[in-house]
Structure 1
Amino acid sequence: MRLVCLSDTHNQHRDIEIPEGDVLIHAGDCTEGGNREETQDFLDWFSSQPHTHKILIPGNHDFYFENPENHKNIPSNIRLLIDQGVEIEQRLFWGSPYTPGMDNWAFNRDRGSDIRKHWDLIPPHTDILITHTPPYGILDEIRSGNKLGCEELTRKLESVEASYHFFGHIHHASGSSIRSKTRFFNLSVLDERSRLMHSPVVLDI
C-alpha cells in the first residue's frame, strides 16, 4: 500500500504535483481563511485525485469543518477524521485535528486536560496516527527555538505504538524523525513564509 502524505497547503494545492498512490492523506490547513469558497475549491480538487482512499484531517485554519452541518457537503470519497478512525487493508488510521494554545483558531483547545480528552480517544492499536499538531519535542521547533507541540500528545504516545505519526502545523520543522518504533513526519509543504518548498511524502507500507 502506497501512502502519499502532505499538510499545510493553505490554498496552494493546485500548484502541487501529487504522486500516484493508494491512500492520499492531508494532515490539515488545506485553507488559509477557512471559508466556504476556499474549502469547496480544496474539496473539489482533493476528491478528483485518483487515489482509492482519501483521508483529510482539518487544521487550525480550517474553520469550515468545525460546523458539523457542513460535513454533509464533503464528497463521499473523502474520509474526514475528527477523533475518528478508518481501517484500510487491516491497518487502523486515526485522525484528530486539535491544536493546543492557539487562541481563537479552529479546533483549538487549552493545554492540559482540555486537549487530553481528545488524545484519550486514540486506540492503543492505532497503526497510522494523523494529527495536525506535532507532539511536544518532535519536529515542532520554530526559528526562535521555542517548541510548540503538544505535551499531552507526547504523553499519550507512550501507550500508542503507531508505526507512523503524520502531522504538520509547524512549517519551520518539515521533515522526519524516528523514535522507538514510530516514524514521525512533519508534512508541511510550505515554509514559514508560505513558499512551496517541500513535496508530498511517499511511503510504501
Structure 2
Amino acid sequence: MRLVCLSDTHNFHHDVIIPEGDILIHAGDCTDGGTRNETENFLRWFSSQPHKFKILVPGNHDFYFEKPKLLEKVPSNINLLINEGLVIDGINFWGSPVTPGMENWAFNKERGSQIKQFWDLIPLETDILITHTPPQGILDEISSGLKLGCEELEQTLKVVKPKLHFFGHIHHAAGSTKRLNTKFFNLSILDERHRIMHSPLILDL
C-alpha cells in the first residue's frame, strides 16, 4: 500500500505534483484564509485525485471546516477526520486538527487540560496518527529557534505509540525523524515565505 502525504499547501495545491498511490493524506492548512471559495476549490481538487482513499485533517487556517453546514458538502470520497478514526485494510488511522494557542485560529485550544482532552481521545491501537500540530520538540522549530509543538501531545505519545505520525503546521521544520518505535514526518510543502520547497512524501507500507 502506497501512501502519498502532504500538508500546508495554503491554496497552492494546483501547483504541487501529486504522485500516484493508494492513500492520499493531507495534514491541514489546505487553505490560507479559510474562506468558502478557497475551501470549495480545494475540495474539488482533492476529490478529483485518483487515489482510492483520500484523508483530510484540517489545520488552523481552515476556518470553514468549523462550520457544521460545510461538513454536509464534503465530497463522499474524502475522509474528513476531525477527532475521529478510520480503518483501511486493517490499518488504524486517527486524525485531529487541534493546535495549541489562545489566538483566533481555527481549531485552537488552550495548552494544558483543554487541549489534552482531545489527545485523550486517540485510541491506543492507532497505527497512523495525523495531526496538524507537531508534538513538542519534534520537528516543531521555527526559524527563530522557538519550538511551538504541543507538550500535551508529546506526553500522550508516550502512551499511544503509533508507528507513523504525520503533521505539518511548522513550515520551517519539514522533514522526518524517528523516536523509539515511531517515525515522525513534518509534511509541510511550503517554507515560511509560502514558496513550494518540498514534494509530497511517498511511503510504502
* TM-score category (smaller protein): over 0.9
1:128 partner amino acid: I
1:45 aligns with 2:45: yes
Deviation at 1:144, TM superposition (A): 1.0
The residue that corresponds to 2:72 in the other structure is 72
The residue that corresponds to 2:124 in the other structure is 124
Query: Distance in 1 between the 2:101 and 2:34 partners?
Result: 19
Within-5 A mapping of 1:61-140: 61-140=61-140
Query: Distance in 2 between the 1:145 and 1:14 partners?
Result: 31
2:113 partner amino acid: S
SS at match of 2:177: strand
Deviation at 1:102, TM superposition (A): 4.9
The residue that corresponds to 2:173 in the other structure is 173
2:131 partner amino acid: T
The residue that corresponds to 1:183 in the other structure is 183
SS at match of 1:136: coil
TM superposition score normalised by structure 2: 0.99
1:15 partner amino acid: D
**Compared CA separation, residues 171 and 102, structure 1 to 2 (3 A):** farther
Query: Distance in 1 between the 2:29 and 2:150 partners?
Result: 17
The residue that corresponds to 1:2 in the other structure is 2
1:172 partner amino acid: H
Deviation at 1:101, TM superposition (A): 1.1
* Structure 2 gap ranges (5+): none
1:84 partner amino acid: E
Q: How many residues align?
A: 205
1:136 partner amino acid: Q
1:162 aligns with 2:165: no
SS at match of 1:42: helix
SS at match of 2:154: helix
Deviation at 1:168, TM superposition (A): 0.1
Deviation at 1:42, TM superposition (A): 0.2
Query: Distance in 2 between the 1:89 and 1:181 partners?
Result: 21
CA RMSD of superposed structures (Å):
0.5
1:22 partner amino acid: D
1:123 partner amino acid: P
Any idea what the Cα deviations from partners look like across 1:162-184, whole Å, max 9, x if unmatched?
Answer: 01000000000000000000000
The residue that corresponds to 2:28 in the other structure is 28
Query: Distance in 1 between the 2:101 and 2:15 partners?
Result: 31
Query: Distance in 2 between the 1:190 and 1:102 partners?
Result: 24
Deviation at 1:69, TM superposition (A): 1.5
* Structure 1 gap ranges (5+): none
Deviation at 1:161, TM superposition (A): 1.5
1:74 partner amino acid: V
SS at match of 2:172: helix
TM superposition score normalised by structure 1: 0.99
SS at match of 1:92: strand
